Amino acid sequence: MIILGIDTSCDDTGVGIVRDGKEILANVIASQHGFHAAHGGIVPSLAARRHSSAMHRVLDLALEEAQISYSDLDAIAVSSDQGLGPALAVGVATAKTLSMVCNKPLIAVHHVEGHIYSNLMSQGDGPSFPFLCLTVAGGHTMLLLARELGTYELLGHSRDDSAGEAYDKVARRLGLGYPGGPIIDALARSGNPEAFAFPRPMLANPDMDFSFSGLKSAVNRLVDRLESEGSPIPVNDIAASFQQSVVDVLVRKTLRALKSTGVRQLAVAGGVAANSLLKSRLESVCQEHAVSLYFPPKGLCVDNGAMIAGVAYHVMDRAPFATPELDYRPNAPLGTLEVKYRHLTKYAPRDR
């Protein structure tokens, strides 16, 4: 079964074509990073316009890469849940139109389930259920217990900014460009992580939730003060100290989740999974606690259509096909009735 998956949840226009949930025939991503750099961050309505103008080209390239045509497809899948509303709308409208015109079934996918599933798409060994998943990106930061495909328990999430958002906002304050994560990651290598004692938000709380907006504000206050004093801004030291705080919190909450669930496998997903310090700290913690650590295959960490096409192969077994009335849901929790959440009532990420 060959499925074409579309992801426009944030600022990447992704189209992937996957056979039987695993074999990636194409994975094309048109990034808007250069465009948003000029605005210092993502403007949802502008992201939507870029998706809409890039879509036909990305679709063409994906079909060309897979060396197939629309008639060879068995279904069209789309990220309809979780992301920026105007951006999601473009992918959903495209998928609905393709489904109607090409007469193919339509599969609606939760973007974060795609991220979790990306770990199961590697050619080598991936995690087996149950495993813990840290999804950490620009649009979401969550700790989930994946019991089986389609059954996820939300153990913790960010109550305000996601980790990636904090990276992007701090980079913007430091005048570093967008996306901020890779730039701060690179600068931090030549900075002193002990130079500034930034807070470790929510570490004292016994739960597994995160909060990154106070940390971002602490960086802003420091930069404001240094600027008002006319002092030079030690960008590399700030980058290293900020990164140390973010990673400290992510790693310690993840360790708490591993201990409280007793699972011995950890999968990491989302754009921030590319962070060098996060990777090395998780590697040593996992080694110390005899936990197996997994990252998605190259190209599947960031937002992409292949993970959507991959997981859609399984979603269609448990849910009816979507209808032409399919709507997008920017703040949809992962899963619906069949999924148990410990913190469902608390789960209310901001509409970005």
Determine which residue in the list 77, 78, 95, 137 makes contact with Zn ion, applying CB under 5 A: 137
Sheet with 75-81: strands ordered across: 23-31, 12-19, 2-7, 75-81, 106-110
44 binds ligand KG4 (CB under 6 A): no
174 binds ligand KG4 (CB under 6 A): no
| Residues from 179 through 208 that contact ligand KG4 (CB under 6 A) | 179-182, 185
Question: Could you tell me the CA-to-CA distances from 166 to 1, 22, 169, 214 in Å, in that order?
Answer: 40, 33, 5, 9
Shortest distance, CB of residue 232 to ligand KG4, whole angstroms? 25
Task: Select the span of 53-61, 97-105, 136-144, 227-235 touching ligand KG4 (CB under 6 A).
Answer: 136-144
Residue 167 binding result from ligand KG4, Zn ion, none, given CB thresholds of 5 to 8 Å by partner type: ligand KG4
Cβ neighbour number for residue 53 with a 10 Å cutoff? 12
Going through 82-168 in order, the beta strands assigned E by DSSP cover 106-110, 131-136, 141-148, 151-157
300 binds Zn ion (CB under 5 A): no
Instruction: Tell me, residue by residue from 301 to 340, as one string, x for binding to Zn ion by CB under 5 A and - for no binding.
Output: --x-------------------------------------
Shortest distance, CB of residue 307 to ligand KG4, whole angstroms? 10
Tokens of 185: 């990651």
167 binds ligand KG4 (CB under 6 A): yes
Cα dihedral: 30, 170, 273, 275 (round 10): 110
β partners of residue 18 = 3, 24
| CB nearer Zn ion, residue 182 or residue 234 | 182
- Which amino acid makes up residue 240? A
Is residue 155 classed as helix, strand or coil in its secondary structure?
strand
Determine which residue in the list 21, 201, 270, 305 makes contact with ligand KG4, applying CB under 6 A: 270
| Residues of the shown chain interacting with Zn ion in the complex, contacts defined by CB under 5 A | 137, 303
